[in-house]
Amino acid sequence: MKKLLALILGLCLIVPVISMAGCVGESKNKSSTIIIRTTGATFPKYQIQKWINDYQKTHPNVKIEYEGGGSGHGQETFLKGLTDIGRTDPPVKESMWKRFLSTGDQPLQFPEIVGAVVITYNIPEIGDKTLNLSRDVLADIFLGKIEYWDDDRIKKLNPGVADKLPHKKIIVVHRSDASGTTAIFTTYLSLISKEWADKVGAGKVVDWPADKMGRGVAGKGNSGVVATLKSTPHSIAYTELSYAIEEKLPVAALENKNGNFVKPTDETIKAAVSAVKANIPNPTEGYKENLKQMLDAPGNNSYPIVAFTHFLVWENKPMKDGKRHYSPEKAKAIKDFLTWVLTEGQKPEHLAPGYVGLPEDVAKIGLNAVNMIKEQ
């Protein structure tokens, strides 16, 4: 009897130990999943999503959470430490760069992919037919100087659909949020139109002339712009090429610097990239990059509105309070993910429709930046 009681008592003592050991094991397994958060530009949305899906297939212990919100949102959340990797289309301005530096850590900015801004439209009378838009006509549409779709200047450029263009007012759809896509497009308009440069200018947010004329409508994010365009007959908008591809929207052939009308394709985007000499600054001085460097590239086959979109990460030095932005485990995971993006991720099988991989020398700039991230 004494032996039986001793055995029962022993089992009672062992069971809690086994249960506790199981809990510790489960906790350990959960903590082995590293969560990386990336926030900002919607210009590379479909590319980022494809990279995340492809990467996580071979890295199941890493979970990457994606949030858009635009380049301005990406920069602000990065500054506040609310995201691990920021994303911005235009290079960060010096004033924001100084705010980053005020944390005590060193920001790093470098290109992630090449994309194109396109002009799309909703004209039921012509469906998916391609419109040719010259430099002066494009600028005057967004300046509000060309009011109707059947304007003689548009008809002259498009004899194949001239008789179908309706006498309907042109509705201009633009971004409502602080947008890198807007910065790229308005910078391009400033390059091709002195009147636009003088009256409106370039930036992530501008005062759209069409709004003052009662012919402007805003949408949040590239997805909001596309949704607004699709629900607004006789409208025109600017967006990222991948959104037009995804939504099967028509895109205009734009007159390039050499006077040719060019549609955005892999070939014409690559032609634009190869026609300009990329002048990417050291990642520790990202604000020195010039957004204009890839816009309106020369060449018979160059599409004129092509730009890099960028990653923002921290070097991970101790901040003023002695803390670091990333734990050693997170820093290691971020470095691995970004290294994959800049190498394997640039291969055709990992590129989403509408995007072009970085030139090798530009990718190397990013890889050098990744190697600067401190794990401890």
Q: SS3 string of 167-226?
A: CCECEEEEECCCCHHHHHHHHHHHHHCHHHHHHCCCCCCCCCHHHHCCCEEEECHHHHHH
- Residue 300 in any domain: the answer is no
Task: Supply the pTM of this predicted model.
Answer: 0.85
Q: According to the model, what pLDDT value does residue 209 have?
A: 98
The band of 18, judged by pLDDT with boundaries at 50, 70 and 90, is: very low
Residue 12 has pLDDT above 70, yes or no: no
Residue 27 has pLDDT above 50, yes or no: no
Q: According to the model, what pLDDT value does residue 19 have?
A: 33
Same domain, 102 and 136: no
Q: Is the dihedral of CA 79, 286, 317, 311 positive or negative?
A: positive
Burial of 40 (0-12, 13-18, 19+ CB in 10 A): buried
Task: Give the residue from 164, 217, 177 showing the smallest Cα distance to 89.
Answer: 177
- Residue 24 in any domain: the answer is no
The band of 7, judged by pLDDT with boundaries at 50, 70 and 90, is: very low
6 vs 354, more confident = 354
Same domain, 130 and 267: yes
Q: According to the model, what pLDDT value does residue 278 have?
A: 64
Same domain, 134 and 194: yes
Same domain, 153 and 87: no
The percent of residues in the chain predicted with pLDDT above 90, rounded, is: 87
Domain containing 40 equals 35-114+279-287+307-372
What is the overall mean pLDDT for the chain? 91
Residue 51 has pLDDT above 90, yes or no: yes
Query: Residue 137's domain is classified under what CATH number?
Result: 3.40.190.10
User: What average pLDDT score do residues 172-181 get?
Assistant: 95
Classify each residue of 67-90 as buried b or exposed e, where b means 16 or more C-beta atoms within 10 Å of its C-beta: ebbbbbbbbbbbbeeebbbbbbbb
> Which residue, 251, 274, 297, sits at the end of a domain?
274
State phi, psi for 249 to the nearest 5 degrees: -95, 150
User: Strand 171-175 and strand 235-240: pairing?
Assistant: parallel
Give the count of domains, the chain. Answer: 2
Same domain, 89 and 149: no
Q: According to the model, what pLDDT value does residue 356 have?
A: 93
Same domain, 41 and 89: yes
> Which residue, 228, 252, 274, sits at the end of a domain?
274
- Residue 180 in any domain: the answer is yes
Same domain, 202 and 236: yes
Task: Give the residue from 125, 129, 75, 72 showing the smallest Cα distance to 98.
Answer: 75
Please answer whether residues 153 and 141 qualify as being in contact, where contact means their C-beta atoms are separated by less than 8 angstroms.
no
Same domain, 360 and 242: no
Q: According to the model, what pLDDT value does residue 39 have?
A: 97
The band of 361, judged by pLDDT with boundaries at 50, 70 and 90, is: confident
Mind listing the pLDDT tens digit for each residue in 295-321? 999 999 999 999 999 999 999 999 999
